[in-house]
Amino acid sequence: MKRVLAGIAAVAAVALSGGTAAAQDAATVTLLHGIPGATVDVAVGGEVLLPGFEPGATQDLSAFAGQSLADVEVRLAGTEDIVIGPIDELAVPASGNWTVMAHLDAEGTPAIAAFENNTAPTADGEGRLTVRHTAAAPAVDLVVGDARPIEGAENGASAELALPAGEIAGAQLAPAGGDPIVDVPTVNLAAGSNLIVYAVGSLADETFTFYTQEIEVGTEAGDDGDEGEDGDGTPAPTEVNTGTPISDSVNLSLLAAAFGMLALAGGALTLRTVKQR
């Protein structure tokens, strides 16, 4: 029946195809299977669009940007058992960079969420680490050493950290305010990249794990993530101060004043010594 209708609408559709192309130019939409342990079929309008979609797999849906998918079902692979849906209408974002994700909500019920990915360039030598809680687990803190850069993130939350490019090792997750219970795998954050880490699965079912997605966004300095002609993307400190540091701001102003007087008094001599080895 649908195909008959399609045939009737043929001429109009050819005219509309240009519009479809314009919509997809403006958007990047990635579908992510974020429910470990269940290979699924994704069906639209009663017919399978995506057979054998495995946990951790992604599928580019950019061609559907700006469209609405009707009667969407996520089924256990090869069966009619519905995992998610039927969803009467699934609106695919029309612009921006999005990840549409099948995941478990806090209670362990399969759900679909859409996250917009930040594609703004990063600062020189930095990457963007995006952390998303999409697991059947309570609110969590991200623990790095003694610090908790993300606190109380609940299922569905997405948080971004701007970090110097490099290896990120030793991060852990803890129930909000509690002791760490899970190690986050070591990831390599490239300069000019948005690295998205998804916590997925279920703590109770022992399917809890992490998925990642990397989006090149470039740095403010240039498109390729390098800074300047000399660097390889490794962040460089602005300065290395390994002498006596400024330790007491109250005394400092007095000291600075005192030294300032001295410096004025012996000005020429002091300046002369600067370039000496």
Partner 1 sequence: MNDVRPDRTRATGRALLVFAGLSTIAAIMFGAVAVWPSSGDDLVLDVTPATAVTAPTTVPLLITPSPVPATAAAPEGNPAATTDTTTSSTIALSPLADLLGVPGSAIPPMIEPRVRPRSVTIDDIELWGPVRAVGLEDDGQLEVPDETEIGWYRYGSSPGRAGATVLAAHVSWNDTIGPFFELGSLEPGARVEVRLEDDTVRTYEVVERTMYDKDSLPRERIWRTTGDETLVLITCGGSFNPEIRRYRQNIVVYAVPVA
> Which residues inside 117-136 make contact with partner 1, applying CB under 8 A?
117-118
HSE, side-chain direction, 13 A CA sphere, residue 84: 26
Minimum distance of partner 1 from residue 228's CB (angstroms): 7
Minimum distance of partner 1 from residue 120's CB (angstroms): 12
Q: Which residues pair with 44 in a beta bridge?
A: 47, 72
Q: Which residues pair with 96 in a beta bridge?
A: 27
Tell me which H or E stretch contains 170: none
Backbone torsion region of residue 137, taken as left when φ is above 0, otherwise alpha when ψ lies between -120 and 50, otherwise beta: beta
Minimum distance of partner 1 from residue 203's CB (angstroms): 19
User: Exactly one of 38, 90, 139, 181 binds partner 1 (CB under 8 A); which one?
Assistant: 90
User: Exactly one of 157, 161, 174, 181 binds partner 1 (CB under 8 A); which one?
Assistant: 157
Residues between 212 and 271 with contacts to partner 1, criterion CB under 8 A: 212-216, 228, 230-247, 252, 255-256, 259-260, 262-263, 270
Nearest to 156 by CA among 138, 129, 176: 138
Strands 27-33 and 96-104: parallel
Q: Binding segment for partner 1 among 18-26, 135-143, 174-182 (CB under 8 A)?
A: 18-26
Taking CB under 8 A as the rule, which mask of x and - marks residues 19-58 in contact with partner 1?
-xx--x---x-x-x-x----x-x-xxx-xxxxxx---xxx
Q: How far is Cα of residue 20 from the mean position of the Cα atoms in its chain?
A: 27
